[in-house]
Structure 1
Amino acid sequence: MTSVSPVSHASPHSRKTLRKVAFASAAGTTIEFYDFFIYGTAAALVFPVVFFPALGAAAGTVASFGTFAVAFFARPVGAIIFGHFGDRIGRKKTLITTLLMMGIATVAIGLVPDAKTIGVAAPILLVVLRFVQGLAVGGEWAGATLLTAEYAPKGKRGLFGSFPQIGPSIAFALASATFLVTNLTLGDKSEAFITIGWRVPFILSAVLVLVGFWVRSSIEETPVFKNTQQPVVRKLPILESIKRQPKEILLAGGSLTLLFAFFYLGTAFLTSYAASPTGMKLSRVDVLSTGIIASVFVAAATLTSGILSDRFGRKKVIATSCIIAVPWSLVLFPLLGTGTVLAFGVGLTVTLMIFAIAYGPAGALLPELFETRYRYTGAGMGYNLAGVVGGGIVPLLAAQLAASPGTWAVGLLLAGIGVFSIICTLALPNREHSDMEASAAVSGAESTTPVHATAS
């Protein structure tokens, strides 16, 4: 028998510490997703011309969204790699690494020559760098949500878990604003915007990354993670999470598939559809301005849903989002078919707010599902599994379906995903009242083997 000393529970954290953690998590995800989203905006507005000029407008758009989807297939790989190190060496060091990786890849994308200059090497380089972006984001989300969830005061885990979740909405606004300013400066259809202007947001991300590095370097490792540190030999987090909680990983992925589908439909596909000559034929200025306005509502909805999840439960709030999504999917494209800026504004805002209602509670839901010793890995795998289907495959299918047989088929696809996510959400275990500090103690006691016991 091996005795394990009980884990001491730390006293409540000071307000200054909690504010710093909330700011660091929100700032970090904002920067990471800004880098991620400017790619989506560029893929919708200029990449078909810059990297796939020989394919024509329709095929070039599909190819462009194909490179966009590459990152979503890299995300589960990133979740496994960085989840391993996040569960082994800590949340803080891993989050700094993902931030720097994303920043380097994003700046490099802004420097890739176009297809007219280096031929097929241009889209190949684009795909490689996009894959690196996917690896970084795959390791980012779980760590950022764990940072707040493991620091959160009792009864406020939903609120604190929503702080990193507002990062994507702020990032979408920043990405849209950067492209808008560049577009207004160089002209809506100018050669300067196509050749140089779109590169500016990518290169400027270097400044944001330096700010994020400073912010994340100033915070301490989470107390819950520190309490699991024992002089022991540990099992691989990826193997433990798959062996012990495969149901939670799969159901979490299914539950959040609708969330991803709606977000990337709004931020990538609808942006392309609104500006396309075969779509709504709106100007880039109208499309980008609408994105900025929508982001304000999305951020507010994200925080509100996180707070409501503390009162009514994570599963109920997320299921409500999925239920609303089903009829909305069927009326979205008839609404957009009117071709007005107002219709696009309403369509984009409501679509992203439905996403936000589910996204706010997700920052607390996934960390609660998994034990401390493989929480980073398990939460990241569930989240990024949803990303592969909802964020990678759905926008690609939507682009093809919109071309033939038509946008009504996109609506049916989204409605079907909504029903699927409702079923998975209701099947998830309810662990919102779990004690993460207690989980850390159990993890340290049950999952480890003392070093002296393994010595031969």
Structure 2
Amino acid sequence: MPHTHKPAPPSGEVTWNETKARQAARASFLGSMLEYYDFYVYGSAAALIFNRVFFTSAHGAIGTLASLATFGVGYVARPLGGVVLGHFGDRAGRKKVMLFTLILMGASTFLIGCLPSYDSIGVLAPALLVLLRLAQGFSAGGEQAGANSLTLEHAPPNRRAFYTSWTLTGTQAGFILASLVFLAVSALPDRQLFAWGWRIPFWASAVVVAVAYWVRRRLEEPPEFTEKKDYDRTARLPAITVLTSQPWDVLRVALCQFNSVGGSIFSVFALAYATGDTVGLSRTTMLWVAIFANAFALAIQPLLARLSDRIGRKPVFISGALGFAVTIFVYLHALSTANIPYILCGAFLVTSCFYSCLNATWPSMYGEWFSTSVRYSGTAIGTQVGIGFAGFAPTIAYAILGDGPNGWIPVALLVAFAMAVAAASCATGRETYRTPMSELGKPKAPAAAKTPQSSFTG
């Protein structure tokens, strides 16, 4: 039927439904938790296992460097995933793409667990590992942008950060789940661990995918999106549209996403550094440190998101970035001393406190810089371009790591630089926490506009 025969689209704000908003937040949390379990399992294996399974021809630090580089390879595919999956997410729907990313991530992870070692098939083993890692990265390129967009568009107007933050809280839960699984298998004797034990967390992704698929298939598309799709108001080429109409917002998101350097240094580099010859802590100890810090983050992030809904996105985000830039020196120094209470204190500061400020805020802040018709593409492209630096940060950090007890200082400076870039970029952006959904992404969103207050207390 020609578009001209359709009734005029409704005007004003799309009303929200409390039940659907809660379902969207719950599904984003569970789906993100289960998908990022797969992603973090790879990070743990890259730091602890793969140098002795897929890079046995490279000795010592060279093998570790090559193993960490495969972690970064996944980030090469993420911008492509952001463009392609963002296009279909803005055209066909958020839900369909979120189901696809889940299946692709799960299948790639399961197959990594099936790969023969370097000793069995030679150079083909690391080549296949890199190929599957690229598939993981392509999937991750559209995962968070889809979950954030869907939850933001379902959320009540004065609780957008709170609801959307559950996507990133899910990634923290996925990190904990992956660490717990690796904690169990790392208790195996080295012979069994490097022969077959490391494969168990990857094979477990089959169960992970089944549960996450069941949760996500029950979701509905947000009314904010379906209204535009029903009346043919979606962008035909969302990536082109957003890059030509809002190039500075895409660039701002990319630079703000330099904050993810902190996450990859904490979760991957620190694990390899602390268990290496310089410090000599056990794998079990460092996995418990990661679990400790992320468990506190699970409780703290929703509270910080509520704070963002009250005082704005920018103060919380900038405080988190600058706080992380300072406390990373504390954490890396603590690792160099091998003092467990000191390490736990440093981990609490960098991850539970300051990184939680970032994770609580950016899912809503980035999405609010774009309109509904290009939101998925704008956030996906921007985040995945920016996060590419984070993917190779562990490799860069390991390469610039100095000798002796103060060798960590260049790494801390690298992280501090990334966080300073993120904070400065955020400072140039619009404050959108009181901007109505229908006004988001417009060149001059009214600064004084206020959303109607909701009685919802969730």
Within-5 A mapping of 1:176-215: 176-184=179-187, 186-187=188-189, 190-215=190-215
Q: Which moved more, 1:379-388 or 1:426-435?
A: 426-435
Aligned to 1:133, which of 130, 133, 136? 136
Contact 2:228 2:234 in 1 (8 A): no
Tell me if 1:149 matches 2:155: no
The residue number in structure 2 matching 1:64 is 67
Say whether 1:333 aligns with 2:337: no
Amino acid at match of 1:101: L
Q: CA RMSD in A?
A: 2.0
CA deviation after TM superposition for structure 1 residue 200, in Å: 0.2
Matches within 5 A, 1:405-424: 406-424=407-425
Determine the C-alpha separation between the residues in 2 that align with 1:156 and 1:231: 28
The letter of the residue matching 1:210 is A
| More deviation, 320-329/204-213 | 320-329
Q: Deviations over 1:203-224 (max 9, x none)?
A: 0011011000001001111111
Which consecutive segments of 4 or more residues in structure 1 shift more than 6 A? none
Q: Which residue of 2 aligns with 1:447?
A: none
Q: Any conservation in 2 of the 1:71–1:392 contact (CA below 8 Å)?
A: yes
Per-residue CA deviation, residues 398-438 of structure 1 (Å, 9 max, x unaligned), is 11111569211111111222222221110112222232246
The alpha carbon displacement at 1:315 in A equals 0.8
Deviations 1:64-95 (A, max 9, x none): 11100011111111110100000000000110
- Alpha-carbon separation, structure 2, partners of 1:94 and 1:181: 33
- Aligned AA (1:329): I
Partner of 1:445: none
Aligned residues: percent identity?
Answer: 34
Give 1 or 2: higher helix fraction. 1
Deviations 1:90-127 (A, max 9, x none): 00011000000000000000111110001000110000
1: CA distance, partners of 2:130 / 2:199? 16
Matched, 1:320 2:319: yes
1-side partners of 2:440 and 2:232: how far apart?
Answer: 18
Contact 1:87 1:376 in 2 (8 A): yes
Query: Aligned ranges for residues 27-426 of structure 1 at < 5 Å?
Result: 27-184=30-187, 186-187=188-189, 190-229=190-229, 230-231=231-232, 234-258=235-259, 260-278=260-278, 280-353=279-352, 354-389=354-389, 391-403=390-402, 406-426=407-427
TM-score when normalising by structure 2 = 0.91
> 1:30, 1:171 within 8 Å by CA — same for their partners in 2?
yes
1:231 Cα deviation from its structure 2 partner: 4.4
Decide whether aligned partners of structure 1 residues 273 and 440 sit closer, same or farther in structure 2, where only a CA change above 3 A counts: closer
Q: Which deviates more from structure 2 when the two are superposed, residues 333-342 or residues 363-372?
A: 333-342
Distance in 2 (alpha carbons) for counterparts of 1:351 and 1:294: 9
Check 1:325–1:232 CA distance in 2 against 1; reply closer, same or farther (3 A cut): closer
Deviation at 1:329, TM superposition (A): 3.1
Residue segments in structure 1 that go unaligned for 5+ positions in a row: 443-456
Alpha-carbon distance in structure 2 between the residues aligned to 1:30 and 1:437: 30
Q: CA deviation at 1:24?
A: 0.4
| Alpha-carbon distance in structure 1 between the residues aligned to 2:25 and 2:200 | 29
SS in structure 1 of the partner of residue 156 of structure 2: coil
- Structure 2 CA distance for partners of 1:214 and 1:275, relative to 1, 3 Å: same
- Letter of the aligned partner of 1:318 in structure 2? F
Structure 2: how far apart are the matches of 1:379 and 1:257? 14
Which residue number corresponds to residue 23 of structure 2?
20
Unaligned 5+ segments in structure 2 are 444-458
Deviates more, 1:340-349 or 1:83-92: 340-349
Q: Distance in 1 between matches of 2:431 and 2:233?
A: 31
Q: Give the match for residue 447 of structure 2.
A: none
Tell me how far 1:342 sits from its aligned partner: 2.4
Rounded to whole Å, the distance in 1 between the matches of 2:338 and 2:316 is 32
Query: Paired residues, what number?
Result: 434
Give the aligned residue type for 2:347.
Answer: L
Cα distance in 2, alignment partners of residues 350 and 47 from structure 1: 30
In structure 1, the residue corresponding to 2:116 is in which secondary structure? coil
Per the TM alignment, residue 268 of structure 1 is displaced from its structure 2 partner at its CA by 0.7
The alignment's TM-score, normalised by the length of structure 1, stands at 0.91
Per-residue CA deviation, residues 311-338 of structure 1 (Å, 9 max, x unaligned), is 1111111000112123223333222221
Summarize deviations over 1:105-157 as a string: whole Å, max 9, x none.
00000111110001000110000000000000101010000111000112100
